[in-house]
Chains A and B, each alone.
Chain A
Amino acid sequence: MRVQFVFQEIWIGLRRNLTMTIALVVTVAIAMALFGTGVLLKMQVDKSNNYWSNKVEVSIYLCNKLSANPTCKKTAPTADQKSEIQKQLESMPQVQKVTPETAEQAYQRAKEQFKDSPGIAGSIQPGDIPDSFRVKLKDPKNFAAVVAQMQGRAGVDQVVNERAILEKFFKILGGLQWAALTIAAIQLIAAVLLVANTIRLSAFNRRRETGIMRLVGASNIYIQLPFVLEGAIAGLVGGIFAAILLSFSKVFLLGRLQKNLQFATPLGWVDVTTVIVASMCFGVLLCALASFLTLRRYLKI
């Protein structure tokens, strides 16, 4: 096998077909980038979901002097009332665990959480967040019963199902993920068709050469390899562009999501690199396979 000869043939093929090659590279790049973004979003959702499902599900905020709720009458519940609420919560069959959090603890936690945003952290005062109970449910779906019993009870200001907030957020991410994967699938179909067309043109352009190769007894591998590699190289170049786009989407899309939405579980570069490598391999294989199958139709051996 004369490696130099094969590469020379590939180079000629790619250059003669420059416009098609560019179209192919761009399509593959977009397809792979969207595919990768979809996978990254899915990983992000799964990871965050796991993390959050082990956390607080329902928060019961107690009244304090700032409460807007009229049943509170702007007074904090007494210690008796608090322990009564806690007892009631603990006696509910749906509840797994009740953790009281004082206003001071909440203040410290908020300060910690917003330490990257000095504006917010500075404006939080102790007591802004009232005393609360963080309730973990045995089954997160059974929040309705807890909410119903706690809502409007003396000394209770608000009952917040934190999971519902997260769920909305996950739904948005999930939607993005599916949108990315759907567009990626359409782009992949376009990429396969473009590969087929490019290789068909290339085979037509080089029919003299392949005809002579056949005649002088070049093996099928020798005849087909330049075409298959042509597809694979276009796939690889597209993959490199996709890798750049994916790095951007890690930094700008996921990076921003994490910053603004208090994600507890950022995706590391390891995950991103895995996705990049996987989608590159996938792109190269897909292009090579599409070339090979096209050749079987258009290149008589």
Chain B
Amino acid sequence: MIHFDNVTKVYSNQGRPALQGVNVAVEKGEFVFLVGPSGSGKSTFLRLILKEERPTQGGIHVAGKDLSRLTNWKIPHLRRRIGCVFQDFRLLPNKNVYENVAFALEVIGKPRRFIRKVVPEVIDLVGLEGKAHRMPDELSGGEQQRVAIARAFVNRPMILLADEPTGNIDPATSIGIMKVLDRINRTGTTVVMATHDAAIVDAFRKRVVELEDGRVVRDQSRGVYGQAYGGV
């Protein structure tokens, strides 16, 4: 589903590469934690999958597509197959829950009847039954992140990328968010989650890819956050 083949990324204003000779293969339906300190290249990894950045060297295949051969006007079609969740939720403050989720479908031109059908379904799926007409500022952080997940998942993407989704949320609520991501993973969606949250990584026991200074230093199935830091 996601194949990094000896990928190096150097940002033009920085001498040190953000990623260096990275080889990672994520298969369909996998759940992968991407761990590592700040600046280790996690975000670059995610941005490369979305073709927001181009690799300096190496090849990337996402959902069977060679990204280097993907023309600019086809990038939107790639992104429709990838959902994205961020630490800061990125909801539209002037739209309610339903409208925020529906927005993702409206802007890719889905018919209104389809939107009316699938948006309530996905709002239920993330556990926000009965809150469709709340505004984002009336919701807790955990609930806002659920809205963001609903928006990312409403178009049934093949891949869900999550960049520190629990970064702004207290530990108890984070477990709930993780359960939603797990539920989405069980529908067959590949999930890649960059995180600093050791407790969650250790509790879920999924595949762990650890980056350090742009290199993959560990790739372990059913891993923990990091032995080096004395993880459980």
Contact = CB atoms under 8 A, between A and B. Distances in A.
B158 interface: no
Contacts of A219: 73, 76, 108-109
A5 B107 contact: yes
B77 A5 contact: no
Contacts of B155: 216-217
B98 to A, nearest CB: 15
Interface stretch (A18-26, A112-120, A207-215): A207-215
B104 interface: yes
A5 B80 CA distance: 19
Interface in A178-222: 208-209, 211-220, 222
Contacts of B106: 2, 5
B92 A208 contact: yes
A222 B73 CA distance: 12
14 contacts: A1-B109, A2-B106, A212-B103, A212-B107, A214-B79, A216-B79, A216-B83, A216-B108, A217-B79, A218-B76, A220-B76, A222-B107, A222-B109, A301-B72
Interface string B106-145: 1111001000000000000000000000000000000000
Most buried by A among B72, B75, B155: B75
Nearest to B106: A5
B84 interface: yes
Nearest to A213: B107
Interface of A: 1-2, 5, 208-209, 211-220, 222-223, 301
Classify the interface of chain A: helix, strand, loop or mixed. Answer: helix
Contacts of A218: 76, 107-108
B90 interface: yes
Contact of B73 (A209, A212, A213, A220): A220
A223 B75 CA distance: 13
Interface string B19-31: 0000000000000
Nearest to A219: B76
B1 interface: no
A216 B92 contact: no
A217 B72 contact: no
B151 interface: yes
B104 A216 contact: yes
A1 B72 CA distance: 20
Interface string B146-187: 000001100100000000000000000000000000000000
A217 B92 contact: no
Contacts of A223: 107
A5 B112 CA distance: 10
The list of the 9 closest CB pairs from A to B, nearest first, reads: A217-B80, A217-B79, A218-B107, A216-B104, A217-B76, A213-B107, A219-B76, A5-B106, A215-B84
B2 interface: no
Contacts of A220: 73, 76
B48 interface: no
B109 A2 contact: yes
A23 to B, nearest CB: 24
B78 interface: yes
B112 A217 contact: no
A278 to B, nearest CB: 33
Given A5-B107, A217-B75, 8 more contacts: A208-B92, A209-B92, A212-B104, A217-B79, A217-B81, A219-B73, A222-B107, A301-B75
Nearest to A216: B104
A301 B78 CA distance: 13
A217 B50 CA distance: 10
A211 B90 CA distance: 9
B162 to A, nearest CB: 13
